[in-house]
Structure formats: structure tokens, C-alpha cells
Amino acid sequence: MLTINIILLISLFFGNIFNTPIADKKEIESNLDSWNEFDLQNPEELGNYFEGDLINPKFGRNGLVDTASRWNKGIIPYEISRNFQTQDKNVILQAMNVYSKYTCISFRPKTPDDKDYISITNYNNGCWSQVGRQGKKQEVNLQSPQCTKKLGTSLHELMHAAGFLHEQNRNERDDFVTIKWDNIKDDRERNFDKAEEGYEQGFGVPYDFVSVMHYSSYAFSSNGERTIITKDPKNLDKIGQRRGFSIGDIMKINAMYDCPEKTQQLNLTGDIIETLTNNNGNQKEQERNTLWEAVNNFFSIFDE
């Protein structure tokens, strides 16, 4: 009996750290409901998982050092929920295409022979992923339409699945950014813990303000003020972008997956590879919202 109690206690403890406590699901839902693409925070920064959007992370920072968490030959088999609208699914598939074009990670639909694979889900509880290959099935959640609004959110969560953590938590980050602790929500300070020296693997890429893995300046703000500012003001508006991979992201992925030559072959210039999402998709999105509002208005008659 005692053993069972201990196991129960342990699972409750880890359940609270790594999974969503039931009370907090409401918080995520309401955060995501009120989010729109012009918000200063990214939707993956609205979760109350570890660092906002990580499920059950192993120790390490930036790129996981543990090679066991990498995907064999950079191939990530996937399945995707039928519960996505076509335009939202297209954004995710487009993100996968960007991986194939610029990195030696590729995604392909899973076959019955694939033991390890990601399952892309559309649960109503935010944008989140595990970090690196876990073995067997692992979920990457992209709640639509919030997490599929910007291509970079799909790139971000898939990059967690590939084995990367958040850029601003690198060990040397204090040389580049200042964390404004007073502006962070009371119970979210640990999202800004930095890596211990020696635990991180930046693959030789310097601190990258434009990484798709960098928090926005307002991440986990309690008061609408910035929680991260850059030492050099000219970098301030760069952090938190979700328009596309940075050159640094591409270099890191290709270094982790042993194909640094791929980066050289691409002959990249600038600092971000911007990939615009398809205009027809956006137009459909607006039409869908209008229809949704009409349906809501119709039913609200009965609420009065």
C-alpha cells in the first residue's frame, strides 16, 4: 500500500511539472482564445508547460547532446490528425517542405513499419512538443488556427521534436539579453532558467537573436511590459520572429544531423529565410471566421 502511495505521489509530482494540471487547461484555452496573430507574444508562449511548450524534456539546452534522441538519418515519420482544416494542415505541410529544402531532416507519412514517429494533433490545449525522438509514438500539438497562423510556429514545434530547446536559455545569454524578472508572471520565472555551463550544444552557432526558437520580448509578461530586452537596442525587434528559419537554425540542424555541407550548398544570404504562407489559405481563413461568427451570432439568440 505504501509503495502504491509513493508511486501515486511521484506521478502526481511529475504530472504537475510536465503535463498540464487540470486547472490550468482552462488558462491555456482562454489564453489561446483571446490570442490573434498581431499579439506581441507567440501562441506557444501562452502554455503552462515546461518553458511554455515542452512536454517531458530531458536535461540539456539548445540542442540536445544525447545522440539517442536524434532521428535515424534525419527522417521523421509522421501522421496528422484529420481534425485540421485544409488551410491549417497546409501550413504544417509547408513547414515540413521548408525542412526538406534547407536541412537534411525530412518528414514522410508513417508506414506500419515505423516504430518511432510523430503524431500531429489538434487538441484544444495549445502548441507543444516533446524534445527529440522519444521512441514509439510522440505527439506534437498544433491547436488550429492559433498555432498554424504563422509558419514559424510549426517550424518551432517541429524543431523541438527534432531535438532543440529554446535559444534564450543558452548559458551565455546574459551577454546578449537582459531578463526583466519583475515583469514575468509569478509562477513562470523558471521558464527563463538558463543552461548550466557544459550542458548545451550550440553547434558552433553564435547566440542567434532571429532564431525561430527564441522567445518574444513579451513572453510570459505579467504586466504587458517586456520580459526580455537585448543589450544592443538594434536587436530588440528581432527576437521572437516566426516568419521562417534563421540561417543559424539551419546551420544548427544540419550540424546536429551531420550534414554541414548542406548549409554551404544552399549559399544563403541575409539572416531569415522568409516563407510566406499561401494567400488563398489566408483568404479562406477570413471567410471561415466570418462564417463562424455568423453561426455564433445565430446561436447567441438562444442564450438570452
Give the integer Cα–Cα distance in Å for 73 and 185.
41
Residue (160 or 262) nearer to Zn ion, CB: 160
**Burial 93-124, CB ≥16 within 10 A → b, else e:** ebbbebbeebbbbbbeebeeeeebbbebbbee
From the CB of 166, what's the least distance to Zn ion, in Å? Answer: 6
Q: What is the side-by-side order of every strand in the sheet holding 117-121? A: 106-109, 75-80, 117-121, 137-142, 127-129
Residues in contact with Zn ion, counted by CB under 5 A, come to a total of 1
At position 236, the amino acid (one-letter code) is L
Cβ closest to Zn ion, residue 53 vs residue 285: 53
Would you call 209 exposed, middle or buried from its count of C-beta atoms within 10 A (0-12, 13-18, 19+)? Answer: buried
> Cβ 108 to Zn ion, closest distance in Å?
24
The answer to whether the CB of 162 falls within 8 A of the CB of 212 is no
Between 53 and 200, name the residue whose CB sits nearer to Zn ion. Answer: 53
CB of 58 to Zn ion, least distance (A): 15
Kindly name the residue from 51, 157, 167, 285 that is annotated as catalytic: 157
Query: Considering only CA atoms, which of 3, 48, 10 is closest in space to residue 30?
Result: 48
Closest distance of CB 251 from Zn ion, Å: 19
Does the annotation place 214 within a ligand binding site?
Answer: no
188: cell is: 513562470
Q: How many residues does the chain have?
A: 304
- Give phi and psi for 120, each to the nearest 5: -90, 115
Residue nearest to Zn ion (CB): 53
Footprint of Zn ion on 44-103 (CB under 5 A): 53
Residue 285 among the catalytic residues: no
**Which residue's CB is nearer to Zn ion, number 53 or number 249?**
53
Catalytically active residues, by annotation: 157
Detail the residues annotated as belonging to a binding site for Zn(2+).
156, 160, 166
What residues make contact with Zn ion under the rule CB under 5 A? 53
Binding residues are 156, 160, 166
